[in-house]
Amino acid sequence: MTRFDIPGAIDRRAFLAFGGLAVAAAVIGPAGAAELYGPKPTGAKTGGTLNMGLLVEPPGLDPFHQAADARIRLTVLIYQGLFYESPEGTAMPLLAEGFDLSGDRLVYTVRLRKGVKFHTGQPMTAKDVAYSYNYIRDPKNGSPGAGDFAMITAVEAVDDATVKITISAPNAALPMTLGNKYGGVVPAGYFDDPEAKTKLNQASVGTGPFKLSEFKPNSNATLVRNPDYWEPGVPYLDRINFIFVPNAASLLVGLRNKRIDIATLARPQDVKQVEGVAGLTVERKPSFNQKAIDLGAELKPLDDERVRRAIALAVDKDEIMRASIGGLGNVIGTMVAGMQDSWGAPADKLANQKVDIAAAKKLLAEAGHPDGFDLTLTTIIGYDWMDAAGVILREQLGKVGIRLAIQRVELGVWVKNFQSKQMGFTFNDWATVPDPNLLFYRHFHKAPEGADFRNWKNDAASKLLDEGRVESDPAKRRDIYVRYQQVMAESVPTIMLFSADHVVVRGQKVQNYDQHPTGWYYGLARTWIS
């Protein structure tokens, strides 16, 4: 049995032996082990109200039933899981203190942090932890996170401070899965009340550093400091007003005129509009998000691999990135920018990354489309980058004879098409937490184990994904995922275009906000106002 004792920071050797997640930490280097929620400030003052402008209003604040990224960004401050997703790719203990792993790597015995209280005032015990994870992993309860927890077969409370988690097959990504994207620990029996789901939008029942104070539609969500928070001395802010601003024009004007203290810009190129304004600081951070073109094989002629390769060869990712986000990001191959160092395949090992019009035309001719063909690109309303990117893509594909029509749809319509695997040729915009299994498996493994939204049905890729999930040796695991990415680049179920940087604009009084690469607002738990 391996024992992981993690007092505050993680034992790197233990993780190297276990999950391979520490590769990233080794690469990032000198900073050493990451700190929870970002670096602790020196000389921080407690108190004050922070006004943060949000362009996307969270559709709800229920971490169990609401998948929207706009929800996650906020609720990570309110609800906590057992582990924290450090930017370096390690799963740091959060409500857990450490865990023991059985020899067959199927049973995790997790020791819980003591002295944790819910926002309701009651103390957290193992019973609450078991309840929360058992609730979310049962698909009948309707959580979008249920699929992520499918490998868990049982969660039991051993005593007040210990839970035992059993999984069906070794899975190197389990601790990362027990993070903060979905769910979190809530009091046992919370969802027994049929109205409980919707009540989460009015009063929070988490253990996080902030409590929900009010959530007014089309206006604001206000969080206040949790006085019973288990980490001593934090958070520093008394109150955070998340103000929902319906358009970038008002947001930028608000930043200039100090109506807003801090905002992350959805479109990095907006930076130009606030650059040079006295009293505003702009910071760029790499991200885990990716903008991609998906090629659903259910749409003819995208079922022909040669056609997909031809499209990949016609796409100039850099030009699309410059047009859609003003170049403020990183062109990527098959891995999001924030994880390229730890998990990405080197660009020179990937096929179909360089523009080659002649080769693309040849492939199309071989596939029986010497004069090209008509294709419809679906973009999502409200995703600004897609509008500009669509225009550029149309020009690029035109060079190989593909006549592109652009169809904009509502998010709801798009999601429905996506889930029913009828998405065809579309832009996609998604983010991940720092683990390749969580990034790739569900999207690209063939059904029924994965969802295979693009009808890729690739056996070689699926086999590699299975191997990568089980493998615990970090070097071997990395090698498996590099080979997987080569398959993906060769067969082109998707074309990953670029990761847009997170761009944070803040006023001078805002101190120590560190943007997490997920785009979530963890950093506010360490922010203070001077």
Cβ atoms within 10 Å of 221's Cβ, excluding its own: 23
- Helix then strand then coil, in percent of the chain rounded to 5, is 35, 20, 45
Q: Which of residues 470-529 bind another protein (CB under 8 A)?
A: none
What is the dihedral angle through the alpha carbons of 344, 346, 350, 353, rounded to the nearest 10 degrees?
A: 100
Q: Which two tokens stand for residue 129?
A: 């932890």
The residue whose two tokens read 């994207």 is 181
Contact letters for another protein, residues 224-243 (x by CB under 8 A): -----------------x-x
Q: List the Cα angle 260/266/269 in 5-degree steps.
A: 100
* Minimum CB–partner distance for residue 198 and another protein (Å): 3
Q: Which of 8, 142, 189, 370 binds another protein (CB under 8 A)?
A: 142
Nearer to another protein, 189 or 279 (CB): 279
Q: Which two tokens stand for residue 295?
A: 């090629």
By CB under 8 A, tell whether 447 contacts another protein.
no
Contact letters for another protein, residues 306-335 (x by CB under 8 A): -------------x--xx--x---------
Half-sphere exposure of 390 (CA within 13 A, CB side): 21
Cα separation, 8 vs 4, in Å, equals 12
* Minimum CB–partner distance for residue 382 and another protein (Å): 8
Q: Which of residues 378-397 bind another protein (CB under 8 A)?
A: 381-382, 384, 387-388, 390-392, 394-395
By CB under 8 A, tell whether 201 contacts another protein.
yes
Q: Which two tokens stand for residue 32?
A: 């050493």
By CB under 8 A, tell whether 88 contacts another protein.
no
Q: How far is CA 277 from CA 102, 258, 504, 512, in A?
A: 57, 11, 14, 20
CB 16 within 8 A of CB 489: no
* Minimum CB–partner distance for residue 232 and another protein (Å): 32
By CB under 8 A, tell whether 9 contacts another protein.
no
Q: Which of 172, 200, 293, 307 binds another protein (CB under 8 A)?
A: 200
By CB under 8 A, tell whether 256 contacts another protein.
yes
Binding residues for another protein, how many (CB under 8 A)?
Answer: 88
By CB under 8 A, tell whether 199 contacts another protein.
yes
Q: Which of 2, 419, 508, 530 binds another protein (CB under 8 A)?
A: 419
Q: Which of residues 66-85 bind another protein (CB under 8 A)?
A: 66-68
Contact letters for another protein, residues 38-67 (x by CB under 8 A): -------------x-x---x-xx-x--xxx
| Residue 392 burial class via C-beta count within 10 angstroms: exposed 0-12, middle 13-18, buried 19 and up | middle
By CB under 8 A, tell whether 424 contacts another protein.
no
